[in-house]
Every structure is written in C-alpha cells, then in structure tokens.
Amino acid sequence: MASTRKLSSDEVNALIEGLGSDTDSPAASGEMNEVIPFEFGSDDLSLLGDFHALRIINERFARLIRSVFLPMLRMQPRISSFPPEVKTFDEYTAGIENFMSLNMSRIEELRGNLLTVMTPNFISVLTNSYYGGKIAAIQTRRSEFTATEERIIELVTDGLSEKLQVAWKDLMQITVSHQNREINPQFASFVDGSELVIICSFVVQLPDTDAASFDIIYPLQTLRPIAAQLRSRLTADLAEEDDQTWRDRMERAVLEIPISVKAILSEPKVSIHKLINMQAGDTFPILIDEGVQLFIGDEKAFIGELGEVGINAAVNLVSRSKD
C-alpha cells in the first residue's frame, strides 16, 4: 500500500512550474547538470517503499500476537498486516473517532515513543468473549471505558508490547515500557500534529462479525537513527524463533496421535482338512517360542511375556525386538 501523504501547496506549485519549464531545462539546451552534494545519513524516511525489514517485523508480529488474543477470543484468530503508511499525525487523527483506546509506550533503545490505537468495538468484542459472551460488538454510543474494559486493555497492551520486542529482536533488541493511556486523540501527547508518523495497521478476522483492526504508530524521528537497518534485508530463520507455546502445542499434538498396537501369542499352522472338520470345543496345541510378539503398526517392536494385571490379561515387555 503506497503512502497517502498529500502534497503541500508549495510542492504542487513547484511541480507545475517544473512541467512548464521543460524547454528551458539544462538537458534541452545541452548544458551539463551541476553536481549536487549528498550528505550521508540524510535519507528521506517518508519514502517507505523499500523498508523491507519493517514489513518483515510487522508480518512476524502478526503471527506472534495470535497467542495474545487466543485466551480472550477462545479461538485462533487470523491476523494480517498492511504495508506501513506515512502521514502527519493530524492526518491520521482526522480519520479516526474521537473516542479510542490510545496507549503510549516508550522504546528505550531508540529514545522514542510508540502509540497503540484500538477501536472501542474491538475492546467490546474482547471483553464480551473473555467473560463467556459471544464474539460480537455492542453498538452503543459512549465516552469512556468501563473498569473491566480498562483491565482488558491493560492485558492486551502488555501482551502486544511483549510480542513486539520478540518481533524486533532479529533487527535489534528493544525494550517497550508503558507510559500512559488516553481516550481522545486531541489529548494524546504523542507528537506534534504536523510531524510525520509511520502507521502499521493490523486486521483481526473474526467469525460472524466484522473484522477488527488496530494500529501501531512510530514517530518518523524515532526510526531515523536505524533507517539503513530498516531498509536492509532481514533474513533471519523464522524456524529458530523461540516460540515455546507453539512447540508445546505441537509436542502435545504429536503425542496424542493414535497408533495401533497388537500382541500375537502364536501363529500355528493347521491343514485344510483339519480346519474343515473342526467343531466347537475342539483344541489343538500351539508353540510359544520367544514369548508374545508386540507389533506397533506393522513393525515388530517388543518381545513380552503373557501375564495378568488384576483380572485383566497383560503383556510384560521383556526386550526390544532386533528385527
């Protein structure tokens, strides 16, 4: 998604003047262009088209935060991330409601802030579901959150901060600490309205209701010191992420796979003539050489002895099969 920042009046006038002066350009008159000096470190951060690392961080963050919403929604939500956008903070706040959940945190290593913005409807969905209700938003007009909703906001914010630190760790170690909360964008002492911010949007797919969304917002100046790193190719192996919860669930799922086990006492041979003439009550001897053979699937696994446990027949495993 390309940046939606509008051109200023000065930029529009400069563009119009440039289009009207093609015949007077140095290229048309055969003159050589003057060499313009470039100062390293003066990257224009408003151009986010090649900020590959930030997009990778957002995608990883979207996967990690499923475990934050799972206990509240009682389901594994599908979460998608959108490419970052650059706007002024005034432009961003003009497109949202006056009543929102605004959670300001500080990134210690970058000496800057970030803002987490969630809609009241999303908070309502999480609260209802967390306390046993349906996954549905309550369409009501209100101007403040209840004490229960405030607690849900606190739990979600802490979980998002923790997962954000994990998502950033392959680029750099960051420490996200909570600062304060607001419900009206006009009172959020985040940045000046004319300053540019980077908006990272995430969408949470919910069953039988509209999708919910929330934003993570970074001031442009906060990310300026690591502009080169954000434009780098982040190639960390995602399989090496320390997601212990996922590993535990996978291990439990593997251990619960049902496997057929059978014990064979003997495999006697009998002639067709004897088999045809057998009657109920007839017997014939069997030979047990090595004991009871225990098979897992079609593979011979153990040799055992026939015995009893209480009133039930049982097999005592003696040795592992060498076949």
pLDDT, tens digit, 9 for 90 and up, residues 190-216: 888 889 999 999 999 988 788 899 999
Q: From the options 3.30.70.150, 2.40.110.10, 2.30.330.10, 3.40.50.720, give the CATH code of 258-320.
A: 2.30.330.10
* Domains of the chain, residue spans: 42-252, 258-320
Q: Which of 230, 289, 184 is nearest to 52 (CA)?
A: 230
Element (H or E) spanning 287, and its range?
Answer: none
Q: What is d(CA 25, CA 18) in angstroms, rounded to the nearest whole number? A: 9
Residue 300 pLDDT grade (very low, low, confident, very high; cuts 50, 70, 90): confident
CATH number of 42-252: 3.40.1550.10
Q: Quick one: pLDDT band at residue 103, thresholds 50, 70, 90?
A: very high
Amino acid identity, position 116:
T
Q: Quote the pTM value.
A: 0.59
Give the whole-angstrom CA distance, residue 67 versus residue 60.
Answer: 13
| Higher pLDDT pick, 223 / 243 | 223
Res. 239 pLDDT band, cuts 50 70 90: very low
Locate tokens 């088999």: which residue?
275
The mean pLDDT value of the chain amounts to 81
Give the whole-angstrom CA distance, residue 66 versus residue 61: 9
In tens, the pLDDT along 27-49 reads 455 555 666 665 555 555 555 55
Q: How far apart are CA 76 and CA 80, in angstroms?
A: 13
The answer, yes or no, to whether residue 143 has pLDDT greater than 90, is no
Do 228 and 43 contact (CB within 8 A), yes or no? yes
Task: Find the length of the chain.
Answer: 323
Strands 112-118 and 101-107 come out as antiparallel
